[in-house]
Amino acid sequence: MAIPRYRPEQFVDSGWDSGTPERKARFVNSLLRFIADDFPRERFTRPLYMGALHARLLRVHRALRHSRVLRCAAVDAGEA
């Protein structure tokens, strides 16, 4: 199975040191190789772990922010 390669041009800079297009592409490519190779323990490196952790925390933050927006909208509408 061919593993797609992502290039920095496919990502947007987030403005954070960890969010440069180059770092994002490097993380995604490492993660895809790790998955394609059936999750070898020796390749679950600290950078891979930190990238996965950061991505997960970002999703949680967005979900919480979205949830708060929905709760505020419900209160404004008299539904809460």
Give tens-digit pLDDT for 6-41: 999 999 998 877 789 999 899 889 989 988 999 999
Residue 24 burial (CB < 10 Å; 0-12/13-18/19+)? Answer: buried
Taking a C-beta distance cutoff of 8 angstroms, is the pair 25, 12 a contact?
Answer: no
Q: Rounded distance, CA 80 to CA 72, Å?
A: 9
- Please write the tens of the pLDDT for every residue from 38-70: 999 998 888 888 888 877 766 666 666 666 555
Taking a C-beta distance cutoff of 8 angstroms, is the pair 11, 21 a contact?
Answer: yes
CB-based contacts of 1, cutoff 8 Å, min separation 6: 36
pTM beyond 0.75: no
